Amino acid sequence: MENSGAAEKYMEIKEQKIELAGETILHMNEIRKWAQFLSILGFVTIGLLLLIGIIMIVASLFVASSIGSALQYDQFGLIGPLMGVFYFIFAVIYFFPVFYLYRFSQHAKHSLVHIGMAESSTEQMSKAIAYLKKHYRYIGIMTIILLATYPVVIIGVIVAIAMR
């Protein structure tokens, strides 16, 4: 029964309007601009990650063909393509928070431009905030995953050193 009470409370909150002061709108516009800048920079970084991944894979294949046998260069044979694949994986992982941040900036911009038309502006700002929530949720989950892997890596390094 607690869930129905929470749902009713949410519906009450959902129907309320928030008025923003002029200074708050200026702050929101500045946030939007920085979000757009950072997301564009993120897309450029993703492009560079993909380019570096392609270069690593192609260069490794070129070295493999020039040496003639993959067995003659064990030391470098697998590292290049593997690193290229890792760069692709990092680019895919990095894409989503950057995309959500970009969508936030675009919907916030549309909302602030149409601030006189209450319904359109409110709808767009709601979408903008939803994308910002997705962005931070993704970053939060990735941070938790990263923090959870630290002890595993540290233990693995200690075991590897102990086995030497």
pLDDT attached to residue 103? 97
- Alpha-carbon distance 96 to 141, whole Å? 12
pLDDT attached to residue 5? 62
Share of the chain above pLDDT 90, in %: 52
Does residue 102 contact residue 46 with C-beta atoms inside 8 Å? no
pLDDT attached to residue 3? 59
Q: Which of 46-60, 117-131, 137-151 holds the top average pLDDT?
A: 137-151
Alpha-carbon distances, residue 14 vs 7, 18, 109, 118 (angstroms): 10, 10, 22, 16
pLDDT attached to residue 1? 45
The residue extents of the domains of the chain are 23-163
- Alpha-carbon distance 93 to 85, whole Å? 12
Arithmetic mean of pLDDT, 131-136: 96
Q: What is the DSSP letter of 18?
A: -
Q: What is the CA radius of gyration of the chain?
A: 24
pLDDT attached to residue 113? 81
The dihedral over CA atoms of 51, 52, 57, 58, expressed in degrees to the nearest 10, equals: 60
Look at 24 and 78; give whichever has higher pLDDT: 24
Q: What is the mean pLDDT of the chain?
A: 84
The structure's pTM equals 0.76
pLDDT attached to residue 117? 64
